[in-house]
Amino acid sequence: MNPNIPVVRLSRNTVVRILLAMVIVLAVFTSIRQVNTGKLAVVTRFGKVINRELSEGIHVVMPFGIERVSIYDVKVQKDESKVSAASKDLQDVTGTVALNYRIDAKRVSQIHQEIGPNFALKLIEPALQETFKATSAKYSASELITNRSEVKSESLKGVKDRLEKYGIVVDDLSIVDFKFSPAFAKAIEEKQVAQQNAERSRFNLEAAQIDAQAQQAQALTLSPLYLQKQAIEKWNGQMPQYVGSGTVFNIPLQQ
């Protein structure tokens, strides 16, 4: 030991005071909890839910880990899941299902006790996968395209039935990026092209028929007798001056 360095000796009372101050600081630090906007916190004591929930703001809990706080977001959240299934006619179909949901604020403690903070992985992902498979199996591939709103409504109902009993409120569901196998997509494209060509041919045929009917009607209407009748009705009683031979209204013309 360097004899030039002064040795500071603390009395027992001073040491006790320092330790006590440190304990107090640590107790304050471990007992203050902040809950931000749109969130709720569940308090557990020695790992047991005690039916105490903390709303937004600053709160005090028992220090040193005796009471712990688990924070849950109760705002509307969005979860997207890649899904795949088979249609009724065994066509492969894939897509992305987007779910808007929120936690029932009155059941946060129940969710924490029965499911835990990773409820989205445990409940939402499987619910989306299973519901999409069950719904897709009821429709053929072409029906999944033409009845898309019906498919969405049935999927939404299925997800609600699965999740709301656990305290998760489902607001909306969307099926995006709807895709089929390349072979089926090509078949659909070829069918659409064939339908367009058929419609075009049908239109051209109908147009030709209408044109032929119009020409036939015009030929019948402009018959010689009809033209003679029209000329007689418009004649002013004067004989036309005409050089040559012939008749008008079957009347000999002046030479």
pLDDT single digits (tens) 27-77: 888 889 899 999 999 999 998 989 899 999 999 898 888 899 999 999 999
Amino acid of residue 234: K
**111 contacts 134 by C-beta, under 8 angstroms:** no
**pLDDT score, position 145:** 82
Which tens digits make up the pLDDT trace of 79-92?
999 999 988 988 88
123 pLDDT tier (thresholds 50, 70, 90): very high
Instruction: Give the start-to-end residue ranges of the domains of the chain.
Output: 12-73, 77-180, 182-217, 222-255
Per the structure block, which two tokens stand in for 184? 């089926």
**70 contacts 112 by C-beta, under 8 angstroms:** yes
Which residue in this structure is represented by tokens 């445990």? 122
Q: pTM for this one?
A: 0.63
CATH architecture for the domain at 77-180: 2-Layer Sandwich (3.30)
**81 contacts 96 by C-beta, under 8 angstroms:** yes
**pLDDT score, position 255:** 47
Which tens digits make up the pLDDT trace of 145-181?
888 889 999 999 999 999 999 999 999 999 887 787 7
Write the DSSP string, 117-146. TTHIIIIIHHHHHHHHHHHHTTS-HHHHHH
**pLDDT score, position 20:** 87
Q: Tell me the average pLDDT across 175-202.
A: 66
**pLDDT score, position 137:** 92
Which tens digits make up the pLDDT trace of 98-115?
999 999 999 999 999 999
The residue among 44, 94, 41, 92 whose CA lies nearest residue 66 is 44
- Distance, C-alpha 27 to centroid of its chain: 49
What are the backbone dihedrals phi and psi of residue 136, each rounded to the nearest 5 degrees, phi first? -60, -35
Q: How far apart are CA 126 and CA 78, in angstroms?
A: 15
The H or E element that residue 242 is part of is none
The residue among 190, 192, 245, 249 whose CA lies nearest residue 225 is 249
**Long-range contacts, 209-215 (Cβ 8 Å, 24+):** none
**pLDDT score, position 211:** 66
